[in-house]
Amino acid sequence: MHYTVITGGPIPDEAQKDVEGTVFCADGGADFCRLHGLLPQCVYGDMDSISEEGLEFIRSRSISTKVYPCEKDWTDTEIALGEVPAGADVTLICPIEGRIDHVIGNIQLASQMSERLGRIVLSDGITHIYMMTGPDDLLCREIDDACEMAVSLVPLSFDAQVTGVRTTDLYYRLGGESLAAGKTFSFSNRLASGKSGFEISIQSGRLAVIVTKAV
């Protein structure tokens, strides 16, 4: 069972290739759907960032909406993710460049939601951020432009280390080490020569695996 949640904001066209399964939109994410011929099941939020064309798209396609007040205690993205059934895998299509508060907020939100949901991946079609909560195994196969990609392992648990970190097919190999938040030991790795994918396993803790262009 897979869901895709699409947020508002500037999202590269490349992200449409990562849309899979049932589609939910957070507010202005409906504009991305309109531009790329996607039909969301429901649009959630206060509707303060969606365009007039997006609103007409919702009306003309009879797309369900759940409208919330502008002044609330949750972001539209948190509301939409909260509607995803427990245990489902989720791709969160969202800007990964731009407003740093939104980027950090979405990473923290995804990390928290991973306790209730299955695998969560943040994507803008170029950068992918895989959320891990131990014990967990992540297998990434056939990465586009693999030789140009950097792979960074970013611990998210400040109160405990990420333990038992093992990697396969990365240039700098980890064989059961522990990683602490605030350290950059596990940043800017890359795929081993001739490899197009990699595998990571952890025993405990929360980890973000960021795969992005090495520029």
CATH number at 151 reads 2.60.120.320
pLDDT tens for 21-79 read: 999 999 999 999 999 999 999 999 999 999 999 999 999 999 999 999 988 889 999 99
pLDDT recorded at residue 198:
96
The predicted model gives 117-144 an average pLDDT of 94
The predicted model gives 3-26 an average pLDDT of 96
The predicted model gives 90-110 an average pLDDT of 93
For residues 174 and 185, the answer to whether their CB atoms sit within 8 Å is no
pTM of the model: 0.95
Residues 87 and 38 in one domain: yes
| Lookup result for tokens 């140009």 | 148
pLDDT recorded at residue 144:
77
125: tokens are 């079609």
Question: What does DSSP assign to residue 116?
Answer: T
Residues 121 and 146 in one domain: no
pLDDT recorded at residue 148:
83
Residues 45 and 114 in one domain: yes
Q: Tell me, what amino acid is at 75?
A: T
The predicted model gives 140-155 an average pLDDT of 87
The whole domain housing 33 covers 2-126
Least confident of 97-101, 134-138, 151-155, 181-185: 97-101
Q: Where are the beta strands (DSSP E) in 7-141?
A: 22-26, 42-45, 64-67, 89-93, 120-123, 128-133, 136-140
Residues 24 and 12 in one domain: yes
Of 65, 93, 126, the residue that ends a domain is 126
Q: Give 94's contacts (C-beta < 8 A, 6+ positions apart).
A: 6, 7, 9, 11, 77, 102, 106, 122, 123, 124
176: tokens are 């059961």
Which pLDDT band, with edges at 50, 70 and 90, does 146 fall under?
A: confident
pLDDT recorded at residue 147:
77
pLDDT recorded at residue 41:
98
For residues 49 and 82, the answer to whether their CB atoms sit within 8 Å is no
Q: What is the CA radius of gyration of the chain?
A: 18
Beta pairing class for 42-45 and 64-67: parallel
User: Could you tell me if residue 145 is left (phi over 0), alpha (psi between -120 and 50 degrees) or otherwise beta?
Assistant: left
Which pLDDT band, with edges at 50, 70 and 90, does 169 fall under?
A: very high
| Total number of domains constituting the chain | 2
Q: Strand, helix or coil at 152?
A: strand
Of 96, 126, 156, the residue that ends a domain is 126
pLDDT recorded at residue 152:
97
CA neighbours within 13 Å on the CB side: how many for 55?
9
Percent of the chain past pLDDT 90, that is, above it, reads: 84
